[in-house]
Each structure stands twice: as C-alpha cells, then as structure tokens.
Structure 1
Amino acid sequence: MTTTTDFTVRPARPTDARALAELRWAFKQEDYEGQPPGAAQPVEEAEHWMRDRLGNGQWLAWVAEAGGEICGHVFLRPVERVPDPYGDNAPVGYATNFYVTPPQRGKGTGSALLEALKQHARGAGFNTLVVWPSERSSPLWRRSGFQFPEEVLELPLDT
C-alpha cells in the first residue's frame, strides 16, 4: 500500500466493485466525450463482473483513494504461457482499465497506481506487462517505463 498526504493506493477488493463499475462508466463517457454511441448497459452488470473476477483472482486491480472515495484504478490480467522446456515460463500481464478522476489528475495518482502494478508484477515473477494505451494515457505509460515492442503483431478481427 502507498500512502501520500493526498491519496492512498491499495489492492482492490471485491467489495470495491460498485465504485469501480461507476468509475468505469465515467471513464467510458469521457472517451465518448459525452456522446456515447447508444444506450449504456446497466452499471450493475459491470459491478457483478468486477466482483466476480476480483473475487476469484482472474483479475487483479489497484485503487487510489482520496477523501475516503476511490478516485482511480488500474486492472491486471495474468496470462499464463504455454510451458516451454527451454524458455521462460513466467506469466505475462495485460494491464488495462487505467483511470484517474479529473480532480485527482496531475497529483501523482496515476504514477502511483502504475508503480503498484509494476511492483506486484515484479514480485509475482511476471515476464512482461503489455498495454494498449489510449492517446491520452500513452505519455504516462511511457514515463513509467513502457515502450513499443519490436516483435508484436496484431490482427484486428472487427472488420
């Protein structure tokens, strides 16, 4: 756990699911600049999804709290690798759903969340962390040490 005078960063718990779901909806509204493409799904669906995944360990997350309220989060999905008798079998981590509320931005909150994520990944023996950052978050990910890979290929399947 990281504590400053302005905020605290700690691992998320299943009981945080409602607040995390509400922040996820706020995050996506910002992405669509208040003009979403259609009707939003009920926040309860995200709340259930988050409670279930955080409770069974499929996903990990860290939250930032300020004034007793969750004001930021980042999620991590461990991805197992197929065993290799001669290679590194350590898991890869997929980092996503990184968000800090507008009033808390510029105070080191995002950096502290990413540091908690990286510390956990190192301690758990992860090989690599990957992320598909938004244009807005890319500079922070880069300042935190993330860089463009030279060997990853992508096939978009939505066309």
Structure 2
Amino acid sequence: MNIRLAVEKDITQLIKMRWDNTVEFDQSKKNESYEEFERECRTFLESALKSNQWFIWVAEDKGQIVSHIYIELIHKVPRPGRVTHPFAYMTNVYTIQEYRHRGVGSKVLRTINIWVKENKYEFVIVWPSNEAVHHYKKNGYVHCTEPMEYFPS
C-alpha cells in the first residue's frame, strides 16, 4: 500500500471514484450525465493538482487508487502579534468497498495528520457523516462547536 499525493495520471481514477462515491449514497444521481460530470471534474482536478491550495492524498494498491482524501488549505487573514498559519478543510473522503474496514482510511488519515503537524497548519476541519464519527475519533479528531451556515434564498 502506497500513500502519496495524487498526480495528473490519477485524474481518470479520481473522477470515477467521485462518481461512485456520489452514486453509492444517492442512487438518483446515477441518471445524471457522466460525460458532463467528467468534463467538470477533470477541469477542477487539473487546476487543483497544479495549485498550492488543494492536496489530494491517495492510497494506491497495485496501481489502483483505493482510497482518497481531499484537503483544501484555507488561508487566514494575518493578525498582529502572531504568525498566521492556514487551516485544512478535509472533504471527499472515500475508500472503495473492497478496502473498507481494513485500516486503509486510518493509514491515509495518519499520513495527513503528520503532514499537518510538519507544515504547522493550525487545525483540520471535517464534517463527517454520522457513520464516520467513530473513524475520526479513533484517529484523534474531536467534536468542535458547530459552525454557523448561511444559505442564500
């Protein structure tokens, strides 16, 4: 099992995994156009992989990506009297079914946790599903005060 940052050659697999992840949890999406989604997702991923804002971590087994976690760095406005470090927003966490409950996701999370510490990012924020809370807790994550949201009408 190789845990690494995604590169351009991974884009096709990442697109398919994003599709599969969405359809697994919302069957109504399987009727959407894969071609339209593929174009939009490819554009996003090509840009993300070239940026210093997105970091896509993957677990690869025999050339196949079996798990991934996307991290977006959020830069904060500097404040007098302290060095300002970005925080990390974790999203699009997914492991293919055949590799679940085998510790793969935890290995990717541990790699990210080390990377976060080494880079002095302030914290990581993730909004887990109810089913995933235990997974994050066993990897050192704790509940925080709920954020507020605004939905424009």
TM-score > 0.5 by shorter chain: yes
Consecutive unaligned residues in structure 2, runs of 5 or more:
none
Letter in structure 2 aligned against 1:76 = I
Q: Which runs of 4+ in 1 moved over 6 A?
A: none
Aligned residue runs from structure 1 range 9-24, under 5 A: 9-24=3-18
Which residue, out of 32, 36, 39, partners 1:44?
39
CA contact (8 A) 1:93 1:130 kept: yes
Task: Tell me if 1:120 matches 2:82.
Answer: no
Task: Tell me if 1:61 matches 2:21.
Answer: no
Across the aligned residues of Structure 1 and Structure 2, the Cα RMSD in angstroms comes to 1.8
User: What's the TM-score, normalizing by structure 2?
Assistant: 0.89
Tell me by how many angstroms 1:15 deviates: 2.4
Q: Give the direction of change, closer, same or farther, for the CA distance of 1:156–1:135 in structure 2 (3 Å limit).
A: farther
Cα distance in 1 for partners of 2:143, 2:152 equals 23
Residue 151 (structure 2) aligns with: 157
Which secondary structure state, in structure 2, belongs to the residue aligned with residue 46 of structure 1?
helix
CA contact (8 A) 1:15 1:51 kept: no
Letter in structure 2 aligned against 1:46 = C
Consecutive unaligned residues in structure 1, runs of 5 or more:
1-6
Task: Tell me if 1:35 matches 2:28.
Answer: yes
Tell me by how many angstroms 1:44 deviates: 2.6
Count of matched residue positions in the alignment of Structure 1 and Structure 2: 151
User: What's the TM-score, normalizing by structure 1?
Assistant: 0.86
Tell me by how many angstroms 1:81 deviates: 0.9
